[in-house]
Amino acid sequence: MDKTQEAEKKMFVGVDLGSRAIKIAAWQEGKMVDFKIRESGFEPHRQVQEMIKEYEPCSVVATGYGRHLVKEYFAYEVITEIKAHGLGVHAVLPEATTVVDIGGQDSKVISLDGRGQVVNFQMNDKCAAGTGRFLEIMAASLAYPLSEFGPAALESDQEVQINSMCTVFAESEVISLKNRGIPRQHIARAVQASVADRILSMLNRVGYGDTIAFSGGVANNPCIVEMVRRRLDNVQVIVPDNPSIIGALGASIQAGRAR
């Protein structure tokens, strides 16, 4: 094996230590060869260490809320989730110039140039409005497992309005709608419509191209994706396979670049 071939065989790992889950992507010979997702739990850096051991990576790049913690222990470099999602989306959907990424505790709209570089972005501030955490709490207050929350809402055809995006106030709204006897799938739909409206307002602030990639854990919710689609004319909204690992994928690509 000559030197270039050896370099190509090298394994690069991206770690996305998010608020709710740890995502790992392994990158080799210019493609993703494996990935893992696990709940963050306690002492996440130890879990990460255990999760990546088998790859014997020659370089690790970390992203997500715990990126600096990972760096302290073993990462070569850190990049933000914003850059990571840009790189990840560009690798799997190069035609997308806009990324909607909604994770456990924040939501972002990222605008990319043709090379996948970030040219502009918007991110929520300290409040959890419209994030995965918001959906979790709303699903729980309507007694849905998270995985059924989206599909159930898709079955509703009735327009009910949730006005507040604040997790605390929206929960009181949900409770008062429940107590008016409104079926829960209608309320579920209203909650998800309010998240879609918020995504739209962020998209309008940043501006968007004709192909939008929807990444992050919330892209697994078919109702929100559908509602975002319905709110946009002549725009393709594409959810990549395994949308929650896009950040880790971007980090693994960066790991390959850095070395």
Partner 1 sequence: MNTESFEIKAYPEMWKDLGMDVERFDKMRLMLGEIYCKTYLTQKNRPARMAYFDEMIAEIHGGRIKELLAAKAEGHPVIGTFCVYIPEEVVLAAGGICVGLCGGSQGSIPDAETILPRNICPMVKSAFGFKVGRVCPYMQVVDFVYGETTCDAKKKTWEILDTMVPTYVMEIPQMKKQSDREMWLHEVKEFKAKIEEVSGKEVTVEGLNEAVKVMNSKRRALQRLNTLRHTHPTPISGKDVLLVEQIAFYDEPVRFAAKVNDLCDELEKRIADGEAVPAKDAIRIMVAGVPMALPNWKLHHLVEGAGAVIVNEESCIGTRYYKDLMDEDGKDMETILADLTKRYMNIDCSCFTPNDERIDQVLKEFRESQADGIIHYSLQFCHTYNIEEIRIREACIKEGIPYMFIESDYSPEDVGQIQTRVEAFLEQIHG
d(CA 140, CA 166): 16
Identify which of residues 119 and 168 has a Cβ nearer to partner 1 in the complex. 119
Site string for partner 1, 87-106 (x = CB under 8 A): -------------------x
Q: Which of 161, 167, 164 has its CA nearest to residue 187? A: 161
- Size of interface with partner 1, in residues (CB under 8 A): 17
Site string for partner 1, 226-255 (x = CB under 8 A): ------------------------------
Q: How far is the CB of 139 from partner 1 (least distance, A)?
A: 23
**Could you tell me the two tokens for 6?**
């050896």
Identify which of residues 69 and 182 has a Cβ nearer to partner 1 in the complex. 69
Q: Please, what's the largest Cα pairwise distance for the chain?
A: 72
Interactions with partner 1, residue window 69-88 (CB under 8 A):
78-83
Query: What are the two backbone dihedrals, phi and then psi, of residue 40, each rounded to the nearest 5 degrees?
Result: -65, -50
Q: How far is the CB of 123 from partner 1 (least distance, A)?
A: 6
Angle at 178 between CA 177 and CA 180, to 5 degrees: 65
Q: How far is the CB of 118 from partner 1 (least distance, A)?
A: 5
The total of other beta-carbon atoms located within 10 Å of residue 226's CB is 16
Identify which of residues 80 and 141 has a Cβ nearer to partner 1 in the complex. 80
Residue 218: Cβ-neighbour burial (10 angstroms; 0-12, 13-18, 19+): buried
Identify which of residues 121 and 134 has a Cβ nearer to partner 1 in the complex. 121
Residues 6+ positions from 22 with CB-CB distance below 8 Å: 15, 16, 36, 37, 38, 39, 40, 44, 47, 48, 51
Identify which of residues 87 and 238 has a Cβ nearer to partner 1 in the complex. 87
Q: How far is the CB of 80 from partner 1 (least distance, A)?
A: 4
Angle at 137 between CA 82 and CA 218, to 5 degrees: 35
Interactions with partner 1, residue window 111-150 (CB under 8 A):
117-121, 123-126
Identify which of residues 126 and 180 has a Cβ nearer to partner 1 in the complex. 126
Q: Which residues bind partner 1 (CB under 8 A)?
A: 65, 78-83, 106, 117-121, 123-126
